[in-house]
Amino acid sequence: MLKNYFKTSIRNIKVNKSYALINVSGLAVGIAACLLLFLVIQFETSFDDFHPQHKKIYRIGSMFNSQEGTSYSGGVSFPVAPALRVDFPQIKQVASIYKHEGDQITVESYGKNLPKKFNKTDVYFTEPEFFSMFKFSWLTGDAKTSLSEPNNAVLTREIAEKYFGDWESAMGKTITRNNKELYKINGVLDNPPQNTDFPLGVVVSYSTLSNTIAKINMEDWVSTYSGACSFVILPDDLPVQKFNNELPVFAKRHKPAEYAKDTYIAQSLDDIHYDDRFGNFRRHTFSHSLIRALMLIGIFLIFIACVNFINLATAQAVNRSKEVGVRKVLGSNRSQLAFQFITETALITFAAVIAAIGIAIAVLPLLNQLLEVKMTMNFYNNSILLLFLSVVGVLVTLLSGLYPAVILSGFNPITALKSKISTKKAGGISLRRALVVLQFGIAQILIIGTLIVLNQMNFFRNASLGFDKAAIINVDIPGDSISKSKIEYLRFKLQQNPGIKNISFSFASPSSNGSWQSDFKFDHSTKSTDISANLKWADVDYFKTYGLEFVAGRQYFPGDTVREFVVNETMVKKLGIINPADAIGKELNFWDGEKVGPIVGIVKDFNSYSLREPMAPVVMSTWKNVYQTINIKIKPGAEKNTLAFVEKNWNEVFPDYVYQYKFLDETIADFYKQEDQLSKLFTIFAILAIFISCLGLYGLVSFMVAQRTKEVGIRKVLGATVGNIVYLLSKEFSLLIIIAFVLAAPIANFIMKKWLQDYSYRIEFGVTVFLIAIFGSLTIAWTTVGYRAIKAALANPVKSLRTE
Amino acid sequence: MLELKGIFKWYHSGNNRTFLLKNIDLSVKVGEFISVMGPSGSGKSTLLNVIGMLDTFDQGEYHFLNESVHKLKEKQRSILYKQYIGFVFQAYHLLDELTVYENIETPLIYQDIKSSERQAMVADMLDRFRIVGKKDLFPAQLSGGQQQLVGVARALIANPKLLLADEPTGNLNSKQGEEIMELFKELNNDGVTIIQVTHSEKNAAYGSRIINLLDGSIEH
């Protein structure tokens, strides 16, 4: 019986090639998109689930309460971990790990060549306990012995091969961090999996920290380092709620009284990849709402493809009515017929799934490139993927096959044999209309959403940040004091080049990823303010280089140490001063008198973080010892020569270090990398949705044109013009798309308003976006319908009438 | 074999009841060869469809081999009909995408007959109708007479007791028509009860009894 069904199905598919092609390609594209989305979601939800104890591991995060609300950090102060061990003896496992970014690693090449230098390296300082908590496998060495002594280091296989050629020969060799600290390689880790938020590379024993030249104060309960994380494994008798209730007491016991408002909070390892309030070492979080959005898009795309199927199948039902009639007369009952049609759908779906796998394999590398990940599609060890595909296959078959099967098998055999089944009877024109409306509704929601995301991205790129970011490069300078003493010499050398307009040395550029924040005492107050000031240490040329404008007072005098302060308008507002000029002369006191001086000027506000964040209060002053970057404004047209000139002179001044520069506008664009990736992803899916919808529309119109050949012929004989005919054939679809728009617009409006809430600086979208969406979809639909319609209208009426 | 008692079939147009069949009383004995005649629209095909259980009626009783058809449910009716009735159409109604062999085989599939048994039965039938050489051809590759031959073969494959034919020669030329009628006669001699609808006096003469229909009633 099944064989007979297969045979009939395959022959039927062959007879209606174009119909099958539309179905298969629409479904294949939909399923492929769904498959890729599944891979993305599977990848993003698998982070750090390979550690056997991942459910029990918690990270201690920090919670800061101030007048602006609550803010969070994934890091803590250094003494937290030792104190936890003492205060919570029931917690058996506590581990600290500290990530230090942007170090330079020098690898001796043992006489042969010059030493190899690698900059911008992340170095992880961690305790042996970390590796008994987290499962990273060792190629040689083990956690207990390899990381017990100070100045011992462990490399991952990839890094070991990069530094020493092959990992076996790395053991026992040495590397130098920032030209100061010598570490011995005492173990090699296998490369960490892709799905970890601990992208280890260079790992150094934790005991090294207290001995580093920078001399980190391990007893400081005030400073919080975002890279300093503490992990615990909570025992069964200490549930996380109970632990979180005890942490405020713990914080109060240890933190200085002034900071008693701030506390700690335990965050499950399973949440680390999703919660952007705390962040992670990978600097990439993937929120649950984003996962939901992607799932929804996947479901939408599959649904749109299924709608095509249903529409074409029911429209085509008339052609199948004779077969249904004959089979019924020959003794088939309804369920057998329904089963036969379902088999046919299953065959088409199967073909689509195979095609979808092919498409997905071809597209995966591009997706990896876009998202900057390395996902793989492997059917051998990813049984969930197979299961997913089977479920999708069955669902699609039922979703798209069931309704047409029920309709077709329900035909009365006598009417069916007399070919009296009309398109109207076969599954209701109104259902087909409703499905088309739904399809285009979804497509238009995606279009409107994409347009708004793109607009917001555009806004990010072009928004005025309050400072001049064009043609400015930032060049790193080494952190040691000898290098600092050479700053003025480098400035002098660089000034010789006429291509350079301005040079300024500073801690950071006006808008940068890393920031230095602190509270302070204002105007001789004994208590610290609630304000967390963003500290921008910079020489006096900074104002000129970035075009910062003053609203009151003057810039500070040149100097190497902190003597005078310039603040921004937001700071003045936060301090409760209405007229900026009134702030001049007031004293700022940082760290109990360590850095004290009067405010001498107020600059106009500029954005010191990404535009997701509100305007921050900024304090600026000179402080040569903390300068890390050179800000160089290049004259237009002189970029190429100037870049080479800067590199040459920099290398002459700092021969032991690696030269590195970046254009400021690129740095700023990087803030929005995730938004950028998402907007590209959304664009692709919106295009797919439109494509699949139009495919279905094309099929439907071709079919309707075929059905109405005679009508078109008669109308032409009666004197209808080509325009009349095209209008006749396309007016219904235009109406459907307009109805779809009326439904889609408010939904899209609601969703996108909500999405924009996350951004402190956001676009106001008006009617334009909606107008583009509706006219865009109408144009696309007309193009799709138009071809068939014009073809039908141009056909010779004599011919079309003769066929009857 | 079967008996119709006071069969009415009607539809409503506006407030008027239009009768398709009016008070039909008919009993058919095993081995009869009946020809139903009458002008277009007199209800010949409707009567045939009712007898063939393809169509329902609004009033009356229908007994088929001791079963009361009017009391049976759809499913039971379908079992009864699959087992005992074969159909031949004016327009042949072969399945275009199946070969001759497969077309003949299809009724057996719906009766859940095993594959090996099916092969034997179809082979017999092909032999009997001398169309073995055409078994792999599709309907479109056959002449009208050959198509109707396949149609008859298909109707007979499940050994029906009753063969219903709706103008079986209507689309054929006279020679082809004669052949089919000869075939019917043979079948009737072999014991198959036949009811045919026809316009042609000549074809009607092959039968043992003629029933004349006018406006849904049997003329006596």
Nearest 5°: CA angle at A614, between A610 and A617?
100
pLDDT digits (tens, 9 = 90+) for A59-70: 999 998 877 778
Of A100-114, A243-257, B172-186, the one with minimum mean pLDDT is A100-114
C-alpha A627/C-alpha A592 separation (Å) is: 22
Mean pLDDT to the nearest integer, A310-316: 81
Contacts of A1 in chain B (CB under 8 A): 109, 112
- What integer best gives the mean pLDDT of chain A? 88
Contacts of A329 in chain B (CB under 8 A): 54, 87, 93
Question: What band does A690 get if pLDDT is binned at 50, 70 and 90?
Answer: confident
Give yes or no for a contact between B129 and B153, defined as CB atoms under 8 angstroms apart: yes
Who's near A599: CB < 8 A, 6+ residues apart?
Answer: A553, A564, A565, A566, A567, A583, A584, A585, A586, A587, A588
Dig out the tokens for B53 from the structure. Answer: 């259980």
Tell me how close the Cα of B85 comes to any Cα of chain A, in angstroms: 9
Q: How many CB atoms lie within 10 A of CB A109?
A: 13
Residue of chain B nearest A15, judged by CA positions? B97
Higher-confidence residue: B108 or A260? B108
Are A330 and B107 within 8 A, CB to CB? yes
Give yes or no for a contact between A703 and A423, defined as CB atoms under 8 angstroms apart: no
Of A495-504, A679-688, A699-708, the one with minimum mean pLDDT is A699-708
Closest CA to A475 of A444, A504, A511: A504
C-alpha A362/C-alpha A582 separation (Å) is: 65
Give yes or no for a contact between A630 and A490, defined as CB atoms under 8 angstroms apart: yes
Of A141-150, A375-384, A402-411, A793-802, the one with minimum mean pLDDT is A793-802
pLDDT at A555: 93
pLDDT at A793: 81
C-alpha A152/C-alpha A761 separation (Å) is: 47
pLDDT at A235: 93
pLDDT at A803: 47
Range list of β-strands (E), B66-215? 67-68, 85-88, 162-166, 193-197, 209-214
C-alpha A337/C-alpha A43 separation (Å) is: 42
Are B107 and A331 within 8 A, CB to CB? yes
Dig out the tokens for A596 from the structure. Answer: 């004290």
Tell me how close the Cα of A427 comes to any Cα of chain B, in angstroms: 22
CB burial string A229-238: b at 16+ within 10 A, e below? bbbbbbeeee
Give yes or no for a contact between A619 and A536, defined as CB atoms under 8 angstroms apart: yes
Are B94 and A329 within 8 A, CB to CB? no
pLDDT at residue B201 is higher than 80: yes
Q: Which of B76, B105, B110, B166 to mutate to test the interface with A (most CBs of A within 10 A)?
A: B110
Give yes or no for a contact between B36 and B197, defined as CB atoms under 8 angstroms apart: yes
**What is B30-56+81-218's CATH number?**
3.40.50.300
Of A108-112, A247-251, A305-309, the one with minimum mean pLDDT is A108-112
How far apart are the two ends of chain A, measured CA to CA in Å?
Answer: 36
Who's near A574: CB < 8 A, 6+ residues apart?
Answer: A531, A617
Distance from the Cα of residue A687 to its chain's centroid: 19
Question: What band does A355 get if pLDDT is binned at 50, 70 and 90?
Answer: very high
Domain boundaries, chain B: 30-56+81-218
Are A326 and B95 within 8 A, CB to CB? yes
Q: How many CB atoms lie within 10 A of CB A430?
A: 9
Going by the DSSP 8-state scheme, the letter that residue A237 receives in this structure is T
Dig out the tokens for B154 from the structure. Answer: 């298909």
pLDDT at A677: 85
pLDDT at residue A111 is higher than 70: no
Of A305-319, A469-483, B51-65, the one with minimum mean pLDDT is A305-319
**Residue B21: its H or E element:** strand B16-28
pLDDT above 70 covers what percent of chain A? 96
pLDDT at residue A804 is higher than 50: no
Dig out the tokens for A771 from the structure. Answer: 């107008």
Range list of β-strands (E), A250-382? 263-268
pLDDT at A222: 86
Torsion angle of the four alpha carbons B129, B133, B138, B141, in this order, in degrees rounded to the nearest 10: -100
Q: Give the DSSP letter string of A681-692.
A: HHHHHHHHHHHH
Helices and strands per DSSP (H, E), number in chain A: 23, 23
Mean pLDDT to the nearest integer, A610-630: 89
Higher-confidence residue: B72 or A417? B72
pTM for this predicted structure: 0.82
Give yes or no for a contact between A162 and A105, defined as CB atoms under 8 angstroms apart: no
Higher-confidence residue: B141 or A673? B141
Question: What band does A795 get if pLDDT is binned at 50, 70 and 90?
Answer: confident
Q: Give the DSSP letter string of A744-758.
A: HHHHHHHHHHHHHTT
Mean pLDDT to the nearest integer, A204-227: 83
Q: Any CB–CB contact under 8 A between A336 and chain B?
A: yes
Of A175-189, A209-223, A243-257, B167-181, the one with minimum mean pLDDT is A209-223
